Amino acid sequence: MSEARCIALLGGSFDPVHNGHLALGSYFGKLLVPDELRVIPAGQPWQKQGLQTAPAHRAEMARLAFGQMAVPVVIDEQEIRREGATYTIDTLRALRDELGPRASITLLIGADQLQQLQTWKDWRALFNYANICAASRPGFSMDAAHVAPEVAQEFARRAATPAQIRGTPAGLAYLATNLAVDISATQIRAALERGADAGALIPAGVLDYIKQHHLYGN
């Protein structure tokens, strides 16, 4: 019997894609060594109103940004194609149906998403379909000042090593505490709108695409 595949998932609005997204994907790419990084641009995320850029542009920016990753990358447009609000739990169910019961599916989230995890639809049920790896910032801890107690409790109860996560279909958690990235898409959009140089925050190919298509006030 062949070894089960390990699929890492990185979702986001990608409005626009920035170096923080790449750092998150690269960090866990090295840690988990997944067989595939599945990048999933959001359709209509229920907690974010008024995405500035059309789905086709956001998917293409993701394609440009993640094209040079060390692991195989697939841009998955299922949330863009889905009508109505998009919820991560629905995406994970669809991916489990697609990939089968043995695949290790791991959702990658940043510290900002971890801080809001208890507000996500059926958030505890996410662990029925996937593992969750979260990247925090230096100095970030799982105390009540940063993370909801119920989320901290779940992460502590499910804590595992990257090797265990790679070999387990779902249900485990990992917190990386040394990813020093703090980039805000809101700040990037504001910089682009006023004509400031955002080249240090955005992959070069994405910045060229933004200028070519006159996005964010360019």
Q: How many angstroms from the chain centroid is the CA of residue 179?
A: 14
Q: What is the CATH number of the domain that holds 141?
A: 3.40.50.620
Residue 218 lies in a domain: no
Task: State the chain's mean pLDDT as an integer.
Answer: 88
The average pLDDT across 103-131 equals 94
Residue 116 lies in a domain: yes
Give residue 218's pLDDT: 56
Token look-up 């993370």 returns 147
First to last CA, the chain: 53
The average pLDDT across 61-77 equals 93
Q: Determine what percent of the chain is predicted with pLDDT higher than 70.
A: 90
Q: For residues 111 and 113, what is the distance between their CA atoms, to the nearest angstrom?
A: 5
Positive or negative, the CA dihedral 164, 165, 168, 173 is: positive
Domain hosting residue 64, numbered range: 6-212
Greater pLDDT, 96 or 177: 96
Residue 132 lies in a domain: yes
Residue 1 lies in a domain: no
Q: Are 88 and 126 in contact (CB under 8 A)?
A: yes
**DSSP code string of 137-163:** -TT--SSTTTS-HHHHHHHHHHB--HH
The average pLDDT across 114-134 equals 96
The average pLDDT across 3-19 equals 91
Structural domain count, the chain: 1
Give residue 1's pLDDT: 42
Reported as type and span, the H/E element at residue 112 is helix 111-114
45 pLDDT more than 70: no
Give residue 136's pLDDT: 79
Q: What is this structure's pTM?
A: 0.90
163 pLDDT more than 50: yes
Residue 217 lies in a domain: no
Residue 82 lies in a domain: yes
Residue 115 lies in a domain: yes
202 pLDDT more than 70: yes
Residue 206 lies in a domain: yes
Strand partners, 135: 110, 176
Greater pLDDT, 67 or 9: 9
The average pLDDT across 169-194 equals 82
